[in-house]
């Protein structure tokens, strides 16, 4: 399966770059053409929520941020991997925290829950060289 | 008369009802601005808000949280927050979070305007 890879280094611009990329993919009608329009939006939302979480909360210490987005079309679905060189966080535990702390109409703390709801499959791991590696399918 | 408050275009409908044109994005980057703009309107006596999502390509969890904040503020005062001209990206978030149970939707700003007048 063909993998489309994009690299990002500037946290202050990454959200704009990401959405510009999605718009070009949608307009070109190529990479995401196998998906129905709602699935495309769910995919876009899932990627946005993860990267927004990185921009707001990730600790890159003194390293230049490196984000690598891989998009892999997969039948009627799309698989996505977003590697980064941040310190990372305990995803399953944080998801449980958000879930248990959820109050009606919360102002914060919905991001990971929304990401989880938007995806069919989600796995969070670490690569051999210490990079964080969420992988999900929409 | 229209006014722009912190990048959000605001149009009065009645003495206590306004339309806020959300624009291209309501996300973690401008949610605090939205909240501040809405709070200012509440302080000025506005109780009913029509959120116009015609051009909105991004609504994320933080943006939705700022709308929840407004809802929590006005609902005890018999106020309301309704959605108008909901774009597909916003509709996906509405369906995913089931907020269609909370926020009435109108196909256009004009329809919302008529309903709330």
| Class of CATH domain B3-112 | alpha beta
A52 to chain B: closest CA residue: B28
B57 to chain A: closest CA residue: A19
Q: Note the pLDDT of residue A5.
A: 95
Can you give the pLDDT of all 138 residues of chain A as single tens digits? 688 999 999 999 999 999 999 999 888 767 788 889 999 999 999 999 999 999 998 999 999 999 999 999 988 899 999 999 999 877 778 788 878 877 888 888 889 899 999 999 999 999 999 999 999 999
B28, two tokens: 């973690």
Q: Note the pLDDT of residue A102.
A: 79
Q: Note the pLDDT of residue A109.
A: 85
Write the CATH number of the domain with boundaries A4-137. Answer: 3.30.565.10
B77-86 per-position pLDDT tens digit: 999 999 999 9
Chain B CB contacts of A114 under 8 Å are: 60-61, 93, 96-97
Q: Note the pLDDT of residue A17.
A: 96
Domain layout of chain A by residue ranges: 4-137
Q: Residue A52 and residue B92: Cα distance in Å, rounded?
A: 18
Place B3 in a pLDDT band, splitting at 50, 70 and 90.
low
Q: Note the pLDDT of residue B93.
A: 97
Q: Distance of CA A90 to CAs A4, A10, A102, A120, B54, Å?
A: 27, 24, 18, 20, 38
A52–B60 C-beta distance less than 8 A: yes
Q: Residue A106 and residue A138: Cα distance in Å, rounded?
A: 25
Q: What are phi and psi of B11, to 5 degrees?
A: -130, 120
B13-28 per-position pLDDT tens digit: 999 999 999 999 999 9
Please tell me the distance in Å from B24's CA to the nearest CA on chain A: 11
B27–A52 C-beta distance less than 8 A: yes
- Please spell the DSSP secondary structure of B43-76, one letter per residue: HTT--EEEEE-TT--EE-HHHHHHHHHHHHHHGG
* Residue of B89, B97, B98 for testing the chain A interface, max A β-carbons within 10 Å: B89
B75 to chain A: closest CA residue: A105
């Amino acid at each position: 399966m063909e993998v489309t890879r994009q690299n990002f280094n500037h946290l202050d611009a990454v959200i704009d770059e990401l959405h510009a990329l999605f718009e070009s993919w949608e307009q070109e009608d190529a990479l995401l053409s196998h998906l129905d329009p709602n699935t495309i939006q769910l995919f876009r939302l899932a990627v946005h929520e993860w990267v927004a979480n990185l921009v707001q909360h990730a600790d890159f210490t003194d390293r230049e941020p490196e984000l690598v987005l891989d998009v892999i079309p997969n039948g009627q679905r799309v698989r996505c991997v977003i590697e980064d060189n941040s310190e990372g966080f305990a995803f399953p535990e944080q998801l449980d925290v958000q879930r248990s702390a959820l109050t009606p109409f919360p102002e914060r703390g919905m991001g990971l829950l929304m990401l989880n709801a938007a995806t069919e499959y989600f796995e969070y791991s670490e690569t051999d060289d210490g990079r964080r590696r969420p992988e999900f399918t929409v | 008369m229209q006014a722009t408050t912190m990048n959000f275009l605001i149009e009065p409908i009645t003495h206590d009802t306004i339309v806020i044109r959300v624009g291209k994005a309501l996300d973690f980057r401008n949610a605090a601005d939205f909240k501040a703009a809405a709070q200012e309107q509440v302080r000025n006596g506005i109780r009913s808000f029509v959120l116009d999502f015609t051009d909105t390509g991004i609504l994320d969890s933080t943006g939705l949280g700022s709308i929840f904040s407004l809802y929590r503020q006005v609902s005890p005062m018999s106020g309301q927050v309704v959605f108008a001209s909901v774009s597909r990206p916003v509709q996906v978030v509405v369906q995913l979070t089931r907020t269609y149970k909370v926020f009435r939707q109108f196909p256009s700003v004009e329809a919302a305007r008529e309903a709330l007048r």
